[in-house]
Amino acid sequence: MSYDTILFSVDGGIARLTLNRPDRLNSFNTQMHGEVAQALGSLTGSDARVLVLTGAGRGFCAGQDLGDRAVAPGSEAVDLGESIDNYYKPLVLALHMLPIPVIAAVNGVAAGAGANIALACDLVIAARSASFVQAFCKLGLVPDSGGTWTLPRLVGNARALGLTLLGNKLPAEQAAAWGMIWQCVEDSELAATVDALAKTLAVAPTRGLAWTKAAIRGSWQHSLAEQLDIERDAQRALGRSADYAEGVAAFIEKRTPRFTGR
């Protein structure tokens, strides 16, 4: 189908979703939320084995389009909690739960919810000119889109508090040094780096990657003993998969495996 606020395609096992409101730094409005949700929903049962999420133009995403939230003098205040329940919570959970790897290609500023949506992806590759800004404190708000959950786990409490209480711009290179993102590359190398990574993941053992993603994301909620049981159950199921049989055969035969994702 056609979209107005995003670009979306699936080809060669690679799904590409580009936030496409460059005149608004790809900030979210209600229509974009709906179109992104529809695109992500269409991945179930598709041939996609990896998703690349990026932004059009000079920015990744500036978060919420505040023009979509403007409150006229004397009118009733907007229920921001309802917006979280209806849009941002489902989006972040969808990215977490997709049974394929999700790459965020951060091509410019990622601010507010835009920063935390990027951090909800499995692998974040950022151009050197990109930056991350927890802009909520400038509006008297708390970080949303999982920011209060994700940031302390990625960079620790001290840095998470500094980023969220001060709202300072964090350059991509510093984000990589802190372990907040996977990689920072030169601007000219971003597209090629992301394409190479997507192509690698598109022929990887997708089912195993999905179980790995779920196990790591869920590990914070479990004790070591519980997590060992989860690993046992995963190995039991994956040990019966076609990809495991192919991986073992390829190792023995000293050849490149031909994984199918099953």
What are the extents of the domains in the chain?
Answer: 6-202, 206-253
pLDDT at 72 exceeding the cut of 70: no
pLDDT at 227 exceeding the cut of 70: yes
CATH number of the structural domain 6-202: 3.90.226.10
198-204 long-range contacts (CB < 8 A, ≥24 apart) are 198/14, 198/50, 198/52, 198/103, 199/12, 199/14, 201/49, 201/50, 201/100, 201/101, 201/103, 202/12, 202/13, 202/14, 202/49, 202/50, 203/13, 203/49, 203/258, 203/259, 204/49, 204/101, 204/259
Mean pLDDT of 40-66: 96
Mean pLDDT of 97-115: 98
Proportion of the chain above pLDDT 90, given as a percent: 92
**CA torsion 156→159→161→167, rounded to 10°?**
-140
Two tokens, residue 132: 């991350």
Lowest mean pLDDT among 69-78, 81-90, 221-230: 69-78
Mean pLDDT of 8-20: 98
The per-residue pLDDT for 77 is: 63
The per-residue pLDDT for 79 is: 84
**Residue 140: burial class (beta carbons within 10 Å; 0-12, 13-18, 19+):** exposed
Cβ-based neighbour number of residue 65 at 10 Å:
18
What does each C-alpha distance from 188 to 169, 191, 245 come to in angstroms? 22, 7, 39
Name the residue among 177, 210, 198, 32 with its Cα closest to residue 104.
198
Q: What is the pTM of this model?
A: 0.94
Residue given tokens 């790897």 in the structure block: 101
The per-residue pLDDT for 67 is: 84
pLDDT at 70 exceeding the cut of 90: no
Give the tens place of pLDDT for each residue, 112-156: 999 999 999 999 999 999 999 999 999 999 999 999 999 999 999
C-alpha radius of gyration, the chain, whole number: 19
Name the residue among 70, 50, 56 with its Cα closest to residue 27.
56
